[in-house]
Amino acid sequence: MRVLAIESSCDETGIAIYDSELGLLSHALYSQIEMHAIYGGVVPELASRDHIRKSIPLIKQVLAEANCTSDDLDGIAYTSGPGLAGALLVGACLARSLAWSWDIPALGIHHMEGHMLAPLLENPAPEFPFVALLVSGGHTQLVEVSGIGQYQLLGESIDDAAGEAFDKTAKMMDLPYPGGPHIARLGANGNPDRFVFPRPMTDRPGLDFSFSGLKTSARNTILKCQEDGGLSDQDKADIAFSFERAVVETLAIKCKRALLQTGHKRLVIAGGVSANKTLRKKLHELMDKVRGQVFYPRPEFCTDNGAMIAYAGCQRLLAGQKDGEEIIIHPRWPMDQLPAVENHKESNNG
């Protein structure tokens, strides 16, 4: 089965073609980051308009790169939620219209399921079951994954997502959007002994997260530096180091707990923050200690992309799932409402 995918949930237009026998054939991404950067965050209306401009040229490009035409496609997958309503509607309307005119099925895919299954595009791919840590700009969740569509939410953030905390802390230090990679880069030159930020909710049982208090600690430290003669580049680096370390250690403590609770030895990390090198290193150390393994996507598939939607869509279309004729999006969509896929066939990742 060969599937074309459209991802348009936020500020990136991602298009890809995945073949169940041959693996990923082509993928392309257009990031709107530069356009939104001057506003310090994503402007939903501008995001929708840009998806309209970019989707069809990118679809033509990936078809050409995969050396195929619409006649070779067996289905279309698109992100139908969660995300920005207008941006989701662009992808949904386009996918459904193309599917109708090409007479093939279309299926709406959950964006976070896409992220969570992205490591299955890699070699070696994790086998089920595993624990997944999903860390993006909108979500921080720990999920027990027994198979495709067999998801048990173990814990989640009760306020800001990890990526959101990175972005907001970066903004307070006048760093560009999205702030995660900038904090990571600056923190590399930070003094590890100058500031200590809290590891929220690690002193009590449970697998939920909270990052807003950590963000407030960072804000108070920034204000103090400003009062003491201005926020210098070294201040920023020192704050970035301690902030990143606090987030990473908090995530690692909860991952360890989730692995103990479920008895699993495989950990998957996915979503934009899973590109963070300090987090990857920390989780490798953790999994070495418990003789387990950690899996994550290549950096370009940590952040939003079409390949993850093509992969998830292909598995579900293969199982015979498809949408009806109404165009439906889910700006909010709990992942445990997704139908299970029985007898998932291992994919070919080359």
Which residues contribute to the site for ligand KG4 (CB under 6 A)?
10, 115, 136-138, 163, 166-167, 178-181, 184, 271-273, 275-276, 303-304
Q: Does 217 bind Zn ion (CB under 5 A)?
A: no
190-195: long-range contacts, CB 8 A cutoff, minimum separation 24: 190/237, 190/238, 190/239, 190/240, 190/241, 190/242, 191/234, 191/237, 191/238, 191/241, 192/241, 192/242, 192/245, 194/238, 194/242, 195/221, 195/238, 195/239, 195/241, 195/242
The whole-angstrom separation of Cα 182 and Cα 191 is 16
| CA nearest neighbour of 112 among 327, 337, 348, 343 | 337
CB of 165 vs ligand KG4, minimal distance in Å: 8
- Is residue 7 a contact point for Zn ion (CB under 5 A)? no
**Contact positions with Zn ion (CB under 5 A) in 120-149:** 136
Instruction: Check binding of 79 to Zn ion (CB under 5 A).
Output: no
167 belongs to the binding site for Zn ion (CB under 5 A): no
- Residue 273 contact, options Zn ion, ligand KG4, none, Cβ 5-8 Å cut-off depending on partner type: ligand KG4
Query: Nearest approach, Cβ of 136 to Zn ion (angstroms)?
Result: 4
CB 14 to Zn ion: min, Å:
10
Query: Which neighbouring-strand residues pair with 180?
Result: none
Q: How far apart are CA 311 and CA 5, in angstroms?
A: 9
What lies within 8 Å, CB to CB, of 198 at 6+ separation is: 213, 214, 217, 246
Residue 314, binding choice from Zn ion, ligand KG4, none, Cβ under 5 to 8 Å by partner class: none
Binding at 181: pick from ligand KG4, Zn ion, none (beta carbon under 5-8 Å per type)? ligand KG4
Choice between 19 and 136, CB closer to ligand KG4: 136
**In the complex, minimum distance from the CB of residue 330 to ligand KG4, in angstroms, rounded to a whole number:** 14
Beta bridge partners of 267: 131, 294
Q: Which does 166 bind (CB under 5 to 8 A by kind): ligand KG4, Zn ion, none?
A: ligand KG4
CB of 205 to ligand KG4, least distance (A): 27
Q: Which stretch binds Zn ion (CB under 5 A): 21-29, 77-85, 253-261, 296-304?
A: 296-304
- Would you count residue 315 as binding Zn ion (CB under 5 A)? no
- Name residue 265's amino acid: K
**In this structure, are residues 80 and 327 in contact, taking their beta carbons and an 8 Å threshold?**
no
> What values do phi and psi take at 332, rounded to 5?
-120, 135
Which residues sit at the interface with Zn ion, rule CB under 5 A?
136, 304
